[in-house]
Structure 1
Protein backbone atom coordinates (compact mmCIF):
# COMPACT_ATOMS: atom_id res chain seq x y z
CA UNK A 1 0.00 0.00 0.00
CA UNK A 2 1.37 3.39 -0.99
CA UNK A 3 0.17 6.55 0.76
CA UNK A 4 0.90 9.81 -1.04
CA UNK A 5 -0.36 13.39 -1.18
CA UNK A 6 -3.51 13.66 -3.28
CA UNK A 7 -3.40 15.58 -6.53
CA UNK A 8 -6.20 17.31 -8.39
CA UNK A 9 -6.17 14.46 -10.91
CA UNK A 10 -7.26 12.16 -8.03
CA UNK A 11 -10.54 14.05 -7.55
CA UNK A 12 -12.74 11.55 -9.45
CA UNK A 13 -11.36 8.70 -7.31
CA UNK A 14 -11.71 10.71 -4.09
CA UNK A 15 -15.30 11.71 -4.78
CA UNK A 16 -16.13 8.14 -5.83
CA UNK A 17 -14.70 6.89 -2.54
CA UNK A 18 -16.91 9.34 -0.64
CA UNK A 19 -19.96 8.20 -2.63
CA UNK A 20 -19.16 4.60 -1.70
CA UNK A 21 -18.57 5.55 1.96
CA UNK A 22 -21.90 7.42 2.19
CA UNK A 23 -23.75 4.41 0.78
CA UNK A 24 -21.87 2.05 3.12
CA UNK A 25 -22.70 4.22 6.14
CA UNK A 26 -26.40 4.33 5.22
CA UNK A 27 -26.48 0.54 4.83
CA UNK A 28 -24.76 0.06 8.21
CA UNK A 29 -26.89 2.16 10.54
CA UNK A 30 -25.29 5.57 10.05
CA UNK A 31 -27.82 7.64 8.06
CA UNK A 32 -26.93 11.10 9.40
CA UNK A 33 -23.18 11.45 8.80
CA UNK A 34 -21.85 13.07 5.61
CA UNK A 35 -25.15 14.47 4.38
CA UNK A 36 -25.92 17.43 2.11
CA UNK A 37 -23.02 16.74 -0.24
CA UNK A 38 -20.36 16.63 2.47
CA UNK A 39 -17.46 16.34 1.87
CA UNK A 40 -17.74 18.58 -1.17
CA UNK A 41 -15.40 18.84 -4.13
CA UNK A 42 -14.58 22.40 -3.09
CA UNK A 43 -13.55 21.25 0.40
CA UNK A 44 -11.38 18.49 -1.01
CA UNK A 45 -9.76 20.84 -3.53
CA UNK A 46 -8.88 23.11 -0.60
CA UNK A 47 -7.49 20.15 1.37
CA UNK A 48 -5.37 19.14 -1.63
CA UNK A 49 -4.11 22.70 -2.11
CA UNK A 50 -3.17 22.88 1.59
CA UNK A 51 -1.39 19.51 1.43
CA UNK A 52 -3.78 17.83 3.89
CA UNK A 53 -5.43 15.27 1.60
CA UNK A 54 -3.80 11.90 1.01
CA UNK A 55 -4.70 8.85 -1.04
CA UNK A 56 -3.89 5.18 -0.55
CA UNK A 57 -3.19 3.16 -3.64
CA UNK A 58 -2.18 -0.37 -4.45
CA UNK A 59 -0.89 -1.95 -7.64
CA UNK A 60 -4.02 -3.89 -8.49
CA UNK A 61 -6.82 -1.42 -7.71
CA UNK A 62 -5.20 2.03 -7.91
CA UNK A 63 -6.59 4.58 -5.44
CA UNK A 64 -8.58 2.68 -2.80
CA UNK A 65 -8.86 5.18 0.07
CA UNK A 66 -8.44 8.77 1.12
CA UNK A 67 -8.02 10.71 4.34
CA UNK A 68 -7.00 14.15 5.51
CA UNK A 69 -4.15 14.66 7.95
CA UNK A 70 -2.77 17.88 9.33
CA UNK A 71 -0.64 18.96 12.25
CA UNK A 72 -2.32 22.09 13.47
CA UNK A 73 -4.91 23.19 15.99
CA UNK A 74 -8.37 22.24 14.80
CA UNK A 75 -10.88 24.91 15.90
CA UNK A 76 -13.60 22.27 16.42
CA UNK A 77 -11.36 20.69 19.08
CA UNK A 78 -10.97 23.87 21.14
CA UNK A 79 -14.04 23.01 23.24
CA UNK A 80 -14.73 19.49 24.42
CA UNK A 81 -17.37 18.16 26.76
CA UNK A 82 -14.92 15.87 28.51
CA UNK A 83 -11.15 16.12 28.55
CA UNK A 84 -8.38 15.54 26.04
CA UNK A 85 -5.55 13.27 27.17
CA UNK A 86 -3.20 16.25 26.88
CA UNK A 87 -3.02 19.75 25.41
CA UNK A 88 0.24 19.20 23.52
CA UNK A 89 0.46 19.86 19.75
CA UNK A 90 -1.37 17.17 17.80
CA UNK A 91 -2.11 15.77 14.38
CA UNK A 92 -5.69 15.39 13.17
CA UNK A 93 -7.20 12.65 11.02
CA UNK A 94 -10.39 13.55 9.15
CA UNK A 95 -12.53 12.04 6.38
CA UNK A 96 -10.99 8.56 6.35
CA UNK A 97 -12.84 6.51 3.73
CA UNK A 98 -12.26 3.61 1.38
CA UNK A 99 -13.93 2.17 -1.68
CA UNK A 100 -14.11 -1.28 -0.07
CA UNK A 101 -11.62 -2.92 -2.46
CA UNK A 102 -8.79 -3.35 0.06
CA UNK A 103 -8.70 -4.51 3.69
CA UNK A 104 -6.80 -2.99 6.61
CA UNK A 105 -6.90 0.56 5.23
CA UNK A 106 -7.75 2.28 8.53
CA UNK A 107 -4.93 0.53 10.38
CA UNK A 108 -2.41 1.50 7.72
CA UNK A 109 -3.58 5.12 7.54
CA UNK A 110 -3.51 5.51 11.32
CA UNK A 111 -0.04 3.95 11.51
CA UNK A 112 1.15 6.31 8.75
CA UNK A 113 -0.20 9.33 10.64
CA UNK A 114 1.20 8.13 13.98
CA UNK A 115 4.64 7.74 12.38
CA UNK A 116 4.45 11.47 11.56
CA UNK A 117 3.11 12.68 14.90
CA UNK A 118 3.03 10.97 18.29
CA UNK A 119 -0.19 12.70 19.41
CA UNK A 120 -3.31 12.20 17.26
CA UNK A 121 -6.92 13.30 17.50
CA UNK A 122 -9.96 12.19 15.52
CA UNK A 123 -13.73 12.28 15.83
CA UNK A 124 -16.75 10.48 14.47
CA UNK A 125 -20.52 10.46 14.52
CA UNK A 126 -22.33 8.55 17.31
CA UNK A 127 -23.93 6.30 14.68
CA UNK A 128 -20.60 5.41 13.08
CA UNK A 129 -19.96 2.30 15.16
CA UNK A 130 -17.50 0.96 12.60
CA UNK A 131 -15.21 4.01 12.88
CA UNK A 132 -15.56 4.04 16.68
CA UNK A 133 -14.40 0.42 16.76
CA UNK A 134 -11.55 1.11 14.32
CA UNK A 135 -10.30 4.00 16.43
CA UNK A 136 -10.47 2.02 19.67
CA UNK A 137 -8.86 -1.04 18.08
CA UNK A 138 -6.01 1.19 16.87
CA UNK A 139 -5.23 2.61 20.31
CA UNK A 140 -7.42 5.70 20.47
CA UNK A 141 -9.18 6.57 23.71
CA UNK A 142 -12.59 8.23 23.87
CA UNK A 143 -12.23 11.70 25.39
CA UNK A 144 -15.66 13.35 25.13
CA UNK A 145 -17.90 15.21 22.72
CA UNK A 146 -16.97 17.99 20.29
CA UNK A 147 -19.23 19.81 17.83
CA UNK A 148 -18.79 20.16 14.08
CA UNK A 149 -21.28 22.31 12.21
CA UNK A 150 -23.53 22.22 15.30
CA UNK A 151 -23.49 18.42 15.28
CA UNK A 152 -22.02 16.37 18.16
CA UNK A 153 -19.12 14.02 17.48
CA UNK A 154 -17.33 11.56 19.72
CA UNK A 155 -13.73 12.75 20.15
CA UNK A 156 -10.77 10.40 20.39
CA UNK A 157 -7.06 10.77 21.05
CA UNK A 158 -4.03 8.51 20.77
CA UNK A 159 -0.74 9.42 22.45
CA UNK A 160 2.58 7.63 22.32
CA UNK A 161 3.51 6.36 25.77
CA UNK A 162 6.18 8.44 27.48
CA UNK A 163 8.11 5.28 28.29
CA UNK A 164 7.63 2.18 26.15
CA UNK A 165 6.81 -1.02 28.03
CA UNK A 166 9.95 -2.66 29.30
CA UNK A 167 11.74 0.72 29.43
CA UNK A 168 14.48 0.85 32.03
CA UNK A 169 15.89 4.13 33.35
Structure 2
Protein backbone atom coordinates (compact mmCIF):
# COMPACT_ATOMS: atom_id res chain seq x y z
CA UNK A 1 0.00 0.00 0.00
CA UNK A 2 1.40 3.38 -1.01
CA UNK A 3 2.01 5.87 1.82
CA UNK A 4 0.72 9.31 0.92
CA UNK A 5 1.89 11.41 3.84
CA UNK A 6 4.06 9.74 6.45
CA UNK A 7 4.51 11.18 9.92
CA UNK A 8 6.69 9.52 12.52
CA UNK A 9 3.84 7.48 14.00
CA UNK A 10 1.01 7.53 11.46
CA UNK A 11 0.18 8.12 7.83
CA UNK A 12 -2.42 9.58 5.52
CA UNK A 13 -3.24 7.42 2.53
CA UNK A 14 -5.94 6.98 -0.08
CA UNK A 15 -8.82 4.94 1.27
CA UNK A 16 -9.70 1.55 -0.20
CA UNK A 17 -12.95 -0.44 -0.10
CA UNK A 18 -11.73 -2.48 2.86
CA UNK A 19 -11.64 0.73 4.94
CA UNK A 20 -15.36 1.42 4.51
CA UNK A 21 -16.60 -0.10 7.79
CA UNK A 22 -14.15 1.95 9.86
CA UNK A 23 -14.95 5.06 7.83
CA UNK A 24 -18.69 4.57 8.44
CA UNK A 25 -18.05 4.03 12.15
CA UNK A 26 -16.18 7.35 12.38
CA UNK A 27 -18.80 9.20 10.29
CA UNK A 28 -21.53 7.78 12.55
CA UNK A 29 -19.66 9.09 15.61
CA UNK A 30 -19.54 12.53 13.98
CA UNK A 31 -23.27 12.37 13.22
CA UNK A 32 -24.01 11.51 16.85
CA UNK A 33 -21.79 14.37 18.07
CA UNK A 34 -23.52 16.87 15.77
CA UNK A 35 -26.94 15.66 16.93
CA UNK A 36 -25.88 15.97 20.56
CA UNK A 37 -24.72 19.54 19.86
CA UNK A 38 -28.06 20.40 18.22
CA UNK A 39 -26.47 20.83 14.79
CA UNK A 40 -28.73 19.91 11.88
CA UNK A 41 -25.81 18.70 9.77
CA UNK A 42 -25.45 15.08 8.63
CA UNK A 43 -28.79 14.22 10.26
CA UNK A 44 -30.60 13.12 7.08
CA UNK A 45 -28.62 9.97 6.29
CA UNK A 46 -25.82 11.83 4.50
CA UNK A 47 -23.01 10.97 4.20
CA UNK A 48 -23.75 7.30 3.71
CA UNK A 49 -21.88 4.22 2.54
CA UNK A 50 -22.67 4.89 -1.14
CA UNK A 51 -21.26 8.44 -0.95
CA UNK A 52 -18.07 7.22 0.73
CA UNK A 53 -17.66 4.36 -1.75
CA UNK A 54 -18.01 6.85 -4.61
CA UNK A 55 -15.32 9.03 -2.99
CA UNK A 56 -13.06 5.97 -2.86
CA UNK A 57 -13.85 5.08 -6.48
CA UNK A 58 -13.05 8.64 -7.63
CA UNK A 59 -9.76 8.61 -5.67
CA UNK A 60 -10.83 11.47 -3.37
CA UNK A 61 -11.11 9.58 -0.08
CA UNK A 62 -8.31 9.53 2.48
CA UNK A 63 -7.76 7.94 5.86
CA UNK A 64 -5.41 8.81 8.70
CA UNK A 65 -4.05 5.74 10.41
CA UNK A 66 -1.75 4.68 13.18
CA UNK A 67 -2.50 0.98 13.01
CA UNK A 68 -6.22 1.69 13.40
CA UNK A 69 -7.95 4.26 11.21
CA UNK A 70 -8.18 7.52 13.17
CA UNK A 71 -9.99 9.72 10.65
CA UNK A 72 -11.40 10.16 7.18
CA UNK A 73 -11.80 12.98 4.67
CA UNK A 74 -12.73 13.63 1.09
CA UNK A 75 -10.20 15.88 -0.67
CA UNK A 76 -9.67 16.90 -4.25
CA UNK A 77 -7.98 19.65 -6.21
CA UNK A 78 -10.80 20.48 -8.59
CA UNK A 79 -13.61 22.95 -9.03
CA UNK A 80 -16.66 22.24 -6.91
CA UNK A 81 -20.03 23.11 -8.49
CA UNK A 82 -21.43 24.15 -5.11
CA UNK A 83 -18.67 26.77 -4.81
CA UNK A 84 -19.42 28.58 -8.08
CA UNK A 85 -22.00 30.86 -6.48
CA UNK A 86 -21.17 32.46 -3.14
CA UNK A 87 -23.03 35.12 -1.20
CA UNK A 88 -19.77 36.83 -0.32
CA UNK A 89 -16.36 36.70 -1.98
CA UNK A 90 -13.60 34.14 -2.20
CA UNK A 91 -10.16 35.38 -1.14
CA UNK A 92 -8.17 33.87 -4.00
CA UNK A 93 -8.77 33.55 -7.74
CA UNK A 94 -7.61 30.40 -9.50
CA UNK A 95 -7.60 26.65 -8.95
CA UNK A 96 -8.29 25.35 -5.47
CA UNK A 97 -8.54 22.25 -3.34
CA UNK A 98 -11.69 21.24 -1.48
CA UNK A 99 -12.21 19.24 1.69
CA UNK A 100 -15.53 17.56 2.41
CA UNK A 101 -16.68 14.92 4.89
CA UNK A 102 -13.83 15.22 7.38
CA UNK A 103 -14.18 13.34 10.67
CA UNK A 104 -11.90 12.06 13.42
CA UNK A 105 -12.54 9.05 15.68
CA UNK A 106 -13.88 10.28 19.03
CA UNK A 107 -10.98 8.58 20.87
CA UNK A 108 -8.47 10.84 19.08
CA UNK A 109 -10.26 14.20 19.05
CA UNK A 110 -8.24 17.04 20.51
CA UNK A 111 -4.90 15.50 19.51
CA UNK A 112 -4.39 17.57 16.35
CA UNK A 113 -5.35 14.78 13.94
CA UNK A 114 -7.71 16.91 11.84
CA UNK A 115 -4.96 19.53 11.52
CA UNK A 116 -2.77 16.88 9.91
CA UNK A 117 -5.44 16.35 7.25
CA UNK A 118 -5.33 20.12 6.61
CA UNK A 119 -1.54 20.05 6.34
CA UNK A 120 -1.73 17.21 3.86
CA UNK A 121 -4.34 19.05 1.76
CA UNK A 122 -2.33 22.28 1.79
CA UNK A 123 0.79 20.42 0.68
CA UNK A 124 -1.19 18.73 -2.12
CA UNK A 125 -2.59 22.11 -3.20
CA UNK A 126 0.93 23.54 -3.42
CA UNK A 127 2.12 20.56 -5.46
CA UNK A 128 -0.84 21.02 -7.83
CA UNK A 129 -0.28 24.80 -8.03
CA UNK A 130 -3.70 25.46 -6.52
CA UNK A 131 -3.95 28.91 -4.93
CA UNK A 132 -6.18 27.97 -2.00
CA UNK A 133 -7.99 25.35 0.04
CA UNK A 134 -11.77 25.66 0.56
CA UNK A 135 -14.17 23.99 2.97
CA UNK A 136 -17.69 24.60 4.20
CA UNK A 137 -19.73 23.78 7.29
CA UNK A 138 -23.14 24.25 8.83
CA UNK A 139 -23.60 27.65 10.49
CA UNK A 140 -24.36 25.95 13.84
CA UNK A 141 -21.26 23.73 13.75
CA UNK A 142 -19.32 26.02 16.09
CA UNK A 143 -16.59 23.49 16.89
CA UNK A 144 -15.71 23.14 13.17
CA UNK A 145 -15.89 26.88 12.66
CA UNK A 146 -13.48 27.47 15.58
CA UNK A 147 -11.18 24.75 14.25
CA UNK A 148 -11.08 26.30 10.78
CA UNK A 149 -10.47 29.83 12.06
CA UNK A 150 -7.75 28.57 14.42
CA UNK A 151 -6.04 26.98 11.40
CA UNK A 152 -5.94 30.09 9.23
CA UNK A 153 -9.22 29.79 7.31
CA UNK A 154 -11.23 32.94 6.67
CA UNK A 155 -15.02 33.01 6.47
CA UNK A 156 -15.90 34.13 2.93
CA UNK A 157 -19.68 33.95 2.79
CA UNK A 158 -22.51 31.51 2.22
CA UNK A 159 -22.69 28.75 -0.39
CA UNK A 160 -25.63 26.44 -1.07
CA UNK A 161 -25.10 22.68 -1.30
CA UNK A 162 -27.19 21.39 -4.18
CA UNK A 163 -28.41 24.95 -4.60
CA UNK A 164 -30.54 24.75 -1.44
CA UNK A 165 -28.68 23.87 1.79
CA UNK A 166 -26.81 26.91 3.15
CA UNK A 167 -23.27 26.41 4.41
CA UNK A 168 -20.65 28.86 5.62
CA UNK A 169 -17.73 28.82 3.19
CA UNK A 170 -14.13 29.17 4.34
CA UNK A 171 -10.91 29.56 2.40
CA UNK A 172 -7.21 29.55 3.19
CA UNK A 173 -4.85 30.91 0.57
CA UNK A 174 -1.86 28.68 -0.06
CA UNK A 175 1.54 30.29 0.30
CA UNK A 176 4.39 28.97 -1.82
Same fold (TM over 0.5): yes
Runs of 4+ in 1 over 3 A off after TM superposition: none
CA RMSD of aligned residues (A): 1.1
Which of 62, 65, 73 in structure 1 is aligned with 2:71? 65
What is the match of residue 8 of structure 1?
17
Shift of 1:106: 1.4
Establish whether residue 95 from structure 1 lines up as the match of residue 109 from structure 2.
no
CA distance in 2, matches of 1:50, 1:160: 24
TM-score, normalising length: structure 1: 0.90
TM-score, normalising length: structure 2: 0.87
Establish whether residue 83 from structure 1 lines up as the match of residue 89 from structure 2.
yes
Which of 26, 35, 44 in structure 1 is aligned with 2:43? 35
Name stretches of at least 5 consecutive residues in structure 2 with no aligned partner.
1-9, 127-131
CA distance in 1, matches of 2:95, 2:84: 12
Which of 147, 150, 153 in structure 2 is aligned with 1:140? 153
CA distance in 2, matches of 1:113, 1:16: 23
Q: Deviations over 1:66-114 (max 9, x none)?
A: 0000011000000000000022100000011011122211111101100
Single out whichever of 99-108 and 12-21 deviates more from structure 2.
99-108
Contact 2:75 2:99 in 1 (8 A): yes
Count of residue correspondences: 159
CA distance in 2, matches of 1:161, 1:99: 30
Name stretches of at least 5 consecutive residues in structure 1 with no aligned partner.
163-169
